[in-house]
Amino acid sequence: MLTASQLAQFNEDGYVIVKQLFDEEEAELLKTAARQDPSIAGKAMEREDGEGGKSKITLWNDEDDGLLSMYSRCERMATSADQILGDEAYHWHSKMMQKEPFVGGAWIWHQDYGYWYNDTCLFPQLVSCFIAIDPSTKENGCLQVLKGSHHLGRIEHIRVGQQTGADPERCKEAEKHCPLEYVTMEPGDALWFHSNLLHRSDQNTSPNPRWALICCYNAKRNSPYGKSSHPRYTPMKRVPDTAIKETGLKWLGATTDFLK
């Protein structure tokens, strides 16, 4: 659950960082599941950045009883999404971002609503939560944001190479008015950000991976009115925060001292 000051910061800046939203054990479980779940590697899509880099992304709409879904469904995430959206939040989709050492590609400036507008969501009443699996640094291509850029509203998005990004001319102007912030994070840290916040990332030029789980939520009253690649409103099957460790330990077939 977010504090009043965290909500105020989100509304002003378009994002807020919550340090250690997931504790060390939960972060380690997430890392293990991400690396070992065969569906992550098996369903990964590659995206070239036009500069020799290539990133992988695995996306899913449906929640299940698996460990990864416990993160998007847990009470601390669901309640925070409710607070930000001012409405009942439901799971829009989740994705595993996989930026590998030395080859992980860049992502150009974009807004998530730049894509989701075409999913017939009438309002930009959607929010994403970026959960760091590995340390996220400048060297391995951490997320960059333009502080307060969500106040610009939706910017037209165009095709640039194999990516779709916000109008480059508008982005250049936005950089003159909105401070550029490098969002460095430790495993278990979370970044909540507005669907109209401009964000990007550089290539991973380091020997360290930069993986992250991004959970996205839509407001109940913002359910798509037409054709959409993501689900219409469906009540989220929320679970207590303890479900992460309980499910994780069953999945690993281990005991509470598995980290030792």
> 84-132: per-residue pLDDT in tens?
999 999 999 999 999 999 988 888 999 999 999 999 999 999 999 999 9
Q: What would the mean pLDDT of 224-228 be, rounded to a whole number? A: 97
Among 27, 25, 8, 26, smallest CA distance to 16 is for: 8
Q: Does residue 91 sit within a domain?
A: yes
Q: Can you tell me the distance from the alpha carbon of 190 to that of 64, in angstroms, rounded to the nearest whole number? A: 22
Q: Does residue 199 sit within a domain?
A: yes
Q: What would the mean pLDDT of 136-148 be, rounded to a whole number? A: 97
Q: Can you tell me the distance from the alpha carbon of 56 to that of 62, in angstroms, rounded to the nearest whole number? A: 19
Residue holding tokens 């690649």? 229
Say what the pLDDT of residue 167 is. Answer: 94
Q: Does residue 121 sit within a domain?
A: yes
Q: Can you tell me the distance from the alpha carbon of 168 to that of 61, in angstroms, rounded to the nearest whole number? A: 30
Q: Does residue 55 sit within a domain?
A: yes
Q: What would the mean pLDDT of 196-207 be, rounded to a whole number? A: 96
Confidence band, pLDDT 50/70/90 cuts, at residue 46: confident
Q: How far is CA 132 from CA 22, 46, 144, 147, 173, in A?
A: 10, 20, 14, 20, 30
Q: Does residue 260 sit within a domain?
A: no
Q: Does residue 22 sit within a domain?
A: yes
- DSSP states along the chain: ---HHHHHHHHHHSEEEETTSS-HHHHHHHHHHHHH-HHHHHT-EEEE-SSS-EEEEEEE----SSHHHHHHHBHHHHHHHHHHHTS-EEEEEEEEEEE-TTTPPPEEEE-HHHHHGGGT-SS--EEEEEEESS-B-TTTT-EEEETTGGGG----EEEETTEEEE-HHHHHHHHHHS-EEEE-B-TT-EEEEETT--EEE----SSS-EEEEEEEEEEGGG--SS--SSPPP-----B-TTHHHHHHHHHHT--TTTT-
For residue 218, the enclosing domain spans: 4-252
Tell me which of 1 and 257 has the higher pLDDT: 1
Indicate whether 251 pLDDT > 90: no
Indicate whether 227 pLDDT > 60: yes
The answer to whether the CB of 68 falls within 8 A of the CB of 61 is no
Indicate whether 257 pLDDT > 70: no
Q: CB-side exposure of 140: number of CA atoms within 13 Å?
A: 21
Say what the pLDDT of residue 208 is. Answer: 97
pTM above 0.85, yes or no: yes
Report the percent of the chain where pLDDT is more than 70.
Answer: 96
Q: How many domains does the chain have?
A: 1
CATH number of the structural domain spanning residue 17: 2.60.120.620
Q: Does residue 259 sit within a domain?
A: no
Max CA separation in the chain (angstroms) = 54
Q: Does residue 257 sit within a domain?
A: no
Strand order in the sheet with 199-201: 107-110, 199-201, 143-146, 180-183
Among 22, 54, 5, 4, smallest CA distance to 191 is for: 22
Indicate whether 51 pLDDT > 80: no
